[in-house]
Amino acid sequence: MKVTEKLNKGRPTLSFEFFPPKTPEQEAHLFEVLGQLQKYKPDFTSVTYGALGTTSGKTFRWVREIKDKFKIEPVAHLTCVAATQDSILDQLKELKGMGVENILALRGDPPEGQPDFTPPPNGFRYAKELVAFIKKHQPGFCLGVAGFPEGHPQSPSLAKDTEYLKEKITAGGGYVITQLFFDNRHYFGFVERCRKAGINVPIIPGIMPIISLKQVKKMTKVCGATIPADLLAKLEKNEKIGIEYAITQCRELLERGVPGIHFFVMNQAGPITQILSQLKTF
């Protein structure tokens, strides 16, 4: 079933995001995690795509595993930063052959240290080009796109960032999953900017429970998100408050009518189980 259909059921959706494991031990662990989280009956589960498409084979393999073995609707991440049109066509054909209906269409990050990275000939510079390309050649896919509540790190302003997002929606994006954030005001302000700009698709907040402060600091540096100063001070004294903070975040978001919650699981079931046990919505 398409994600947009699930979003029209009149209740908040629940979704998880995993990354492809690199070792046999990590693979065994991910099977355990999926088994533990399956009981919550997620509406869909997304699988990330490595830098420059380096894990595309593993991504697609886990998309198949999630769909066939766990009977959960998969959303395959697909990035275009180093891809050619022919390679994207091949991957779309492969996904269609698996019976996959949902794709999260992303530009992806250029190689580290190459801010002026040039796409290959017959390639893509922006996610909006990927979205339009998929809609032209495989219109049956349901496409989600990424949104940045605090603005994309490379956007000159929040206004421009909203403009870029609207271009992705106009090209065929059916819903938005946001990058992580730790102050709900950023999410609600983002939604308000989008609605004023005429972006009317569902905007699903992406939540990352803070388990490791070191890890989160690294991720926020890459994606442009921030950690509120008061929260940071508390985390530096006690990282364990991260789970309780995520519960508080989710409660407010759900009370204010978000279309769903998308958890960045980091391939760990424990924190998500703790959070969902405290939320009565799911």
Active site residues: 17
Tokens standing for 143? 């496409």
CA distance 14 to 16: 7
Q: Got the DSSP string for the chain? A: --HHHHTTSSS-EEEEEE---SSHHHHHHHHHHHHHHGGG--SEEEE---GGGTTHHHHHHHHHHHHHTS---EEEEEE-TT-BHHHHHHHHHHHHHHT--EEEEE--PPPTT-TTPPPPTTB-SSHHHHHHHHHHH-TTSEEEEEE-TT--TT-S-HHHHHHHHHHHHHHT--EEEEEE-S-HHHHHHHHHHHHHTT--S-EEEEE---S-HHHHHHHHHHHT----HHHHHHHHH-TTHHHHHHHHHHHHHHHTT-SEEEEE-TT-HHHHHHHHHH-S--
